[in-house]
Amino acid sequence: MTKTRNLLSLIGWIALTAAFATLGGLGSATAPAFYSQLNQPAWAPPTWLFGPAWTVLYLMMAVAAWRVARAGRSAALLVYLVQLALNALWSWLFFGWHMGAAAFACIVVLWLLIAATIVLFGRIDPLAAALLLPYIAWVSFASALCFSIWQRNPGLL
């Protein structure tokens, strides 16, 4: 792959990942106001932390996908794309539609798909898999947070 095509491929994976992030972001447009109304555990992070954390994670995810795409492995990338779609769906379920049980079920399936993506990426490019480790760590934390908030707010979620 030429340097130009390589760079265009990287830009494409960043753009595709950002498109899914934007789709999820549309579902969480009212997230700060809604999130502040929720009864949260003491260990819940401040609202301002989510934007920077997700920006870094999405960039790392895109670079990981790009590294795998250079090897031409579509099955691993298909799982990556499905988990991206579930990631976006979670924002709509939790923030947009206030469906706590569905959001928790979604994030559990998302976690499983991220784990599968890590395994599949690891078979192709160990660094690509390693780039997803902060993502699964964050989603592990987010899963516990989602469950806790859902349980604490039966009237809102």
Domain span at residue 119? 3-152
Mean pLDDT on 110-118: 99
Whether pLDDT at 93 is above 90? yes
- Residue from 64, 65, 84, 82 nearest 24 by CA: 84
Q: Decide if 116 is inside a domain.
A: yes
Q: Decide if 99 is inside a domain.
A: yes
Q: Decide if 24 is inside a domain.
A: yes
CA distances in angstroms from 146 to 88, 91, 108, listed in the order given: 15, 11, 10
Q: Decide if 51 is inside a domain.
A: yes
Q: Decide if 157 is inside a domain.
A: no
Q: The pTM is what?
A: 0.95
Whether pLDDT at 1 is above 80? no
pLDDT in tens, 16-31: 999 999 999 999 988 8
CATH of the domain at 29: 1.20.1260.100
Q: Which residues contact 115 (CB under 8 A, 6 or more apart)?
A: 136
Q: Decide if 57 is inside a domain.
A: yes
Mean pLDDT on 3-12: 95
